[in-house]
Amino acid sequence: LTVEAGCTLRDAQRAAAEAGLLFPLSMGSEETCQLGGVLSTNAGGLAVLRYGTARELVLGLEVVLPDGRILDGLSALRKNNTGYDLKQLFLGAEGTLGVITAAVLKLFPRPHSHETVLLAVTNLRAACEVLVAVRATLGDCVTSFEFVTHEALGLVLRHLPDSRAPFGGAVTHFVLLELSVRAGDTHLRSAVEALHKQLLDDGVVQDGLVATNESQRAAWWRLRERIPAAERAAGGSVKHDVSVEIGDLAQLTESAAAAVKQLVPNSRCSIYGHIGDGNLHFNVLAADGADPLLFREQHAAAISDAVHRCALALGGSFSAEHGVGQLKRGLLRQTKSPVALDLMMRLKASLDPKGLMNPGKML
């Protein structure tokens, strides 16, 4: 699918659907975000586990360079080993190397059927066990694997009153799992039910539901997608968007939560995210009843420093999705290796010697 940069993500999805195909990148901002921004932020969305981030969904790219020349790379070739893969320089570059004007996107067959499963778990370690079991049994059928702590769910239930708790009102940690198969594969429902029973029997999950209709599925996804709105309604949070290898996720949350509690004992952690990608949103809110503005003024810097340190100590990243922008330029300089930083600076200086592209961002 060839799109211009101003095309919204939703319009690209629609064009693919009209051709009977799927453009799998999907996320909360899809109605308004544009392909230029999506590619420049290497956006991930909800189906990274199966289809990858924006970077993996681009075959060709057209870019206007800072000197006015056009890099015409609108090719749909899947294989082309003729030197550097130049398009990758501009994907995730946050607009610092050139202006993306068009792209050729990869499309996929539309899934024939899908299943949505909600599982109550006691902690993140159990959620990771579920991930391993699900991937071992159902492999590539797993499209999304989201984890939400009971604290994050509690915020949604409290601040967005039209939300309803699943599992008969119990406020638990949960995993939201989406699976899909292509035409001809009709055994998904029975495979999901067998796995579900196995996980319950083994005590890995405490409770589980398989969606029986679209409105139930949508209601579960709303619980996940409305967490940022609930945090805003609660007065706002100090946000972090960290990633580590999946096997280190539990250790990350435990060490970061302990570090945050030591700094501000009554603060609340709202933790959720795409754990199938090793990516967690680790957000910290003021104690119930405390002034959220004052909390952020006094503690945000120390809290962020502590959370980022925990991720970096495990070989992780301080920015899995949100990018660097202006806020995290200092962190980039502190944490990239001197060699990597030097290469980034040389690339920038070589392509944009006058510093015209998004000055003050990233580097």
Ligand X SMILES: Cc1cc2nc3c(=O)[nH]c(=O)nc-3n(C[C@H](O)[C@H](O)[C@H](O)COP(=O)(O)OP(=O)(O)OC[C@H]3O[C@@H](n4cnc5c(N)ncnc54)[C@H](O)[C@@H]3O)c2cc1C
Binding site for ligand X (CB under 6 A): 5, 27-29, 33-34, 36-38, 40-41, 43-45, 94-95, 99-100, 321, 358
Nearer to ligand X, 43 or 242 (CB): 43
Q: Which amino acid makes up residue 2?
A: T
Spatial separation of the C-alpha atoms in residues 301 and 34, rounded to whole Å: 32
* Alpha helix stretches (DSSP H) within 264-337: 292-313, 329-335
Minimal distance, residue 236 CB to ligand X, in Å: 15
Minimal distance, residue 202 CB to ligand X, in Å: 31
Q: What are phi and psi of 145, to 5 degrees?
A: -145, 100
* Nearest C-alpha neighbor of 179 from the set 222, 118, 245, 246: 118
Nearer to ligand X, 98 or 166 (CB): 98
Nearer to ligand X, 88 or 198 (CB): 88
Nearer to ligand X, 27 or 347 (CB): 27
Minimal distance, residue 170 CB to ligand X, in Å: 27
Minimal distance, residue 360 CB to ligand X, in Å: 11
68: left (phi over 0), alpha (psi -120 to 50) or beta: left
Nearer to ligand X, 43 or 199 (CB): 43
HEC per residue, 228-254: HHHHHHCCCCECCEEECCHHHHHHHHH
Minimal distance, residue 151 CB to ligand X, in Å: 20
Nearer to ligand X, 116 or 172 (CB): 116
Minimal distance, residue 46 CB to ligand X, in Å: 6
Minimal distance, residue 172 CB to ligand X, in Å: 23
Minimal distance, residue 133 CB to ligand X, in Å: 25
Nearer to ligand X, 94 or 195 (CB): 94
90 within 8 A of 100, measured Cβ to Cβ = yes
Please count the CA atoms within 13 angstroms of the CA of 100 that sit on its side-chain side: 33
At 340 the three-state DSSP class reads: helix
Nearer to ligand X, 24 or 37 (CB): 37
Spatial separation of the C-alpha atoms in residues 114 and 180, rounded to whole Å: 4
Q: What are phi and psi of 64, to 5 degrees?
A: -90, 120
* Alpha helix stretches (DSSP H) within 27-161: 35-40, 48-51, 87-90, 124-138, 150-159
Nearer to ligand X, 86 or 287 (CB): 86
Residue nearest to ligand X (CB): 37
Spatial separation of the C-alpha atoms in residues 57 and 140, rounded to whole Å: 17
Please count the CA atoms within 13 angstroms of the CA of 353 that sit on its side-chain side: 2
Handedness of CA 83, 34, 102, 363 (dihedral sign): negative
Minimal distance, residue 75 CB to ligand X, in Å: 19
The tokens describing 118, both together, are 């909600």
